[in-house]
Amino acid sequence: MPHTYLTSGTLLLWLIVSVLATNSLIVFADSHAKGVYAEIIATATVSITMGLAIILALRQLRYNRPHAKMYLSLAAGLVLWFCADIIWASYELVFHMAAPIPSLSDVLWLAGYPFFAHNLFATYREFKSRFNRRILAASIAGNTAFVVYLIILTAQLSDFSTQDGIAMFSVMIAYPIMNAVLVIPALSILVGLWKENPWSIPWTFKSLSLFCIVVTDSWFAFIIISGLYDQVWVASLLFGAEYIILAGGLLWFNKFLNVYKGHAHEKVQAAPFPRRNPGPVRYLQVTVAIALVGGIISYGFASSMVTSSAQYITPADAQLSTTFTIGALLPLTGALSSFGEEAEMVLKMAVKDVNKELAASGSDTRIALVIEDTKTDPAVALEKLQALASDGIQIVIGPVTSAEVAAVKQYANDNDVLVVSIGSTAPDLAIPNDNVIRLVPDDTQQARALARQMWDDGVRVVVPMWRADVFGNNLQLLMTENFRRLGGTVVDGVGYEPLVGDFSASLHRINFIVWEQHLRSLSEKVGEATAQYGAERVGVYIVAFDEIVPILIQADRHPELEAVRWYGSDGSAQVKGVVRNAEAAEFAIRTNFLNPIYGVEETEVFRELEERIAEEIGREPRSYSEATYDALWVAALALERHESGPLRDSFVQTANSYVGVTGSTELNDAGDRKFGSYDFWAVREGHDAHHPFEWASVGTSSVH
């Protein structure tokens, strides 16, 4: 065999580089892109691995038929998994819907296991004389204990009262059971062949690949136990790595375990194994690998810093002007990221418009903007506000949620920072003379409008479900008071601790297990209410953010919940994920899911801005986007006009006299928007194949 520079060390080095290169795309991507990159990487790597397996199987079929079956089995299993990955990626990236349980992907993935098992057990039978039976016994005992633990954990979280619940449980436990079947012989093979180069090298890679699969399929247990729900994406790193590692083993098979024809029989012989490479070549390989790894990590770290730290938007002529910097705390990731995306784009648009107007008027004042991501996490919001204040920023647009505002208000009061929220509506935060200004009305008016709407719809009994934070608790209590005042009944509902991070709104199956616990309780309460009062007189009231998407999907699996009307809040109104997911949208239509949100009179200037925003984001924006636009204008004008005294006074005076795209921004004594009406939005069928579902305005309620 010609001398080669591919050794086990070199192969391992380049595998590390490959895994780092592919996974860095996931690690350093923003939360919305992680899933996309994970699906693309998994599909690409399984296709490469499948190709190597097919080549090896064909070579064995030609030269070594006695061993061909085991390699044909490996190739067949990978072909099935490739098809499963393609279908799964289509669900996630093309159709934007949660895969059914079981899905065709599940059928193909599970169908691949017997082929992998044949490959492993055939190998075990061939080399069993070299294996230690104690290792086999330990492997059986360890895997059995682990699988039993996962079955018990999954059973505790599952609902066996419906066919869908039983199907989910069956699918969730099928993977760890099949993984255990593979790990038992794989561990014995790995230990038995450990010292037999070069045979141990491909088996090491195959075993490492299998262990990655085990961790990936069992990751939900870690998530449930630890409560680190935002770390679901970590499993996708192993999902891509498993194929790369397996590809390394197959590459070694194809490169070094050459096949020779014998006269009496056919067998596989190991090619000469190079012990080491010439020094200069080795150093060159190591240098290139180190450079690649270092470059990948450096690039990823730099990208991460750009996306997670402040984004500075400054005017082009800042050096010629008096520049005031305004901060912005937005939920660019997390449970309200759909709102943050719109607000970020609108603020950038407003900065350009403000500076253009200031320049046209002859003013030497310009506005700069610093945007920070709060991740919809109150603790992060406080940390980012402190960072902005340390840079001398006096006015901050945001945070958006009431929980975040509650976390930062004391710091804002103590450090003379004016917080201008464009989404917080909890009445508990309506405090006169503090440093929190809100350019939207508080929830007192929203609760009154919604209670009246439910009563007019014939609903007399409400079963609530709400996120148990300051926003959800306040709104649920206000709705209860208003509905009971009308003569209705509100039964004890289901409050849930809001999850932090994008997991709360994802379509991952672990998510459905989490929400199943709450929806099972809600279903029982709704069933009791409908049995007593009739389904036409019962309604579900839910206070949620973007997590409304998996909630609606999972609710579709409970007939009791589908039989009654559903009502939401401004937190779930116009959430894009609802209309992008067919199951969520169809459930919303069947239950006439009605959501109030702060409404604005559609003047000509309002429609012009709405069209600009819609063109940028590809959908009709929430009314809070226009309020965000006005908030930056008021902040900019207040900074320009401010001469002495508290900045809050200048802001309030400016707001009380300003008429923007949302009309008058006059504030009440607590610093909240004084007047407002509410539009009701519901999901309806779309007008074309590209947009099969859409949010539609279905009514208005004026409350003063």
pLDDT of res. 291: 47
| 281 vs 472: CA distance, rounded Å | 64
DSSP 98-133: PPPSS-HHHHHHHHHHHHHHHHHHHHHHHHGGGS-H
In angstroms, the CA 594 to CA 588 distance is 8
Query: Which stretches of 508-547 are DSSP H helices?
Result: 509-533
Mean pLDDT of successive 10-residue stretches along the chain, which has 704 residues: 56 76 74 73 87 87 78 92 90 74 89 90 76 84 90 82 81 88 83 66 76 74 66 71 83 62 39 44 46 45 44 61 89 84 90 90 88 91 94 92 94 94 90 92 90 95 95 94 96 88 69 83 95 96 93 90 96 89 92 92 83 82 87 92 86 92 91 87 85 87 55
Contact by Cβ (8 Å): 209, 243: yes
Pairing type for strands 461-467 and 436-438 reads unpaired
Per-residue model confidence (pLDDT) at position 280: 47
- Which of these, 280, 241, 237, 235, lies nearest to 28 by C-alpha position? 237
Tokens (6 digits) for 615: 């063109």
Contact 11, 251 (CB under 8 A): yes
Task: Please check whether residue 597 is in contact with residue 475, taking contact to mean a CB–CB distance below 8 angstroms.
Answer: no
Query: Given this chain, do its domains 311-440+625-671 and 443-599+680-703 carry the same CATH topology?
Result: yes
Give the closest residue to 439 by CA, choosing from 455, 459, 419. Answer: 419
pLDDT of res. 312: 61
Three state DSSP letters for 602-662: CCHHHHHHHHHHHHHHCCCCCHHHHHHHHHHHHHHHHHHHCCCCCHHHHHHHHHHHCEECC
How would DSSP label each residue in 446-511?
Answer: HHHHHHHHHHHTT--EEEEEEE-SHHHHHHHHHHHHHHHHTT-EE---EEEPPPPSGGGG---HHH
CA 448 to CA 210: how far, in whole Å?
Answer: 57
The tokens for 8 are 């086990």
Cβ contacts of 284 within 8 Å, gap of 6 or more = none
H or E segment to which residue 703 belongs: strand 691-703
Tokens representing residue 609 in the block = 């801005």
DSSP state of 62: H
Beta 659-660 vs 663-664: how paired, if at all? antiparallel
H or E element that contains 193: none
Alpha carbon distance 244, 12 (integer Å)? 11
Residue 241 DSSP symbol: H
CATH 3.40.50.2300 fits 311-440+625-671, yes or no: yes
Query: How far is Cα 371 from Cα 368, in angstroms, rounded to an integer?
Result: 10
Please report the pLDDT score of residue 619 as a whole number. 76
Rg (CA), the chain: 30
pTM: 0.76
pLDDT value of position 269: 44
* Three-state helix/strand/coil letters over 565-589: EEECCCCCCCCHHHHHCHHHHHHHH
Q: Is 88 helix (H, G, I), strand (E, B) or coil?
A: helix
- The torsion angles phi and psi of 464, rounded to 5 degrees, stand at -90, 155
- The token pair at 277 is 């490479």
**pLDDT of res. 9:** 67
Q: Cα dihedral sign for 91, 93, 98, 101?
A: positive
- Sketch the domain layout of the chain as residue ranges: 8-304, 311-440+625-671, 443-599+680-703
- Are 223 and 24 in contact by the 8 Å Cβ rule? The answer is no
Q: How high is the pLDDT of residue 14? A: 73
Q: Is 514 helix (H, G, I), strand (E, B) or coil?
A: helix
For residue 195, the 8-state DSSP code is T
Q: How many CA atoms lie within 13 A of 212 on its CB side?
A: 21
What is the distance of C-alpha 520 from the center of its chain? 23
Asked if CATH classification 3.40.50 holds for the domain at 8-304, the reply, yes or no, is no
d(CA 378, CA 527): 36
CA dihedral of residues 101, 105, 106, 108 (deg, nearest 10):
150
CA distance 415 to 107: 59
Q: Are 218 and 150 in contact (CB under 8 A)?
A: yes
Q: What is the CATH number of domain 443-599+680-703?
A: 3.40.50.2300
3-state helix, strand, coil in the chain (%, to 5): 60, 15, 25
Q: How far apart are CA 387 and CA 401, in angstroms?
A: 19
- Tell me the three state secondary structure of residue 690: coil
DSSP 8-state class, residue 269: -
What angle do helix axes 378-390 and 402-414 make, rounded to 10 degrees? 30
Question: Buried (b) or exposed (e) across 317-347, using 16+ Cβ within 10 A?
Answer: eeeebebbbbbbbbbbbbbbbbbbbbbbbbb
Q: Which residues in 275-335 belong to E strands, given as ranges? A: 311-313, 322-330
Cβ contacts of 693 within 8 Å, gap of 6 or more = 578, 579, 580, 582, 585, 586, 589, 683, 684, 685, 686
Other Cβ atoms closer than 10 A to 473: 18
* Cα angle, residue 406 at apex, residues 403 and 409 outer, rounded to 5°: 145
Reading phi first (left if > 0) and then psi (alpha if -120 to 50, else beta), residue 312 is in beta
Q: Rounded CA gap, 39 and 22, in Å?
A: 11
What single-letter amino acid sits at 219?
Answer: W
Tokens of 322: 């008096």
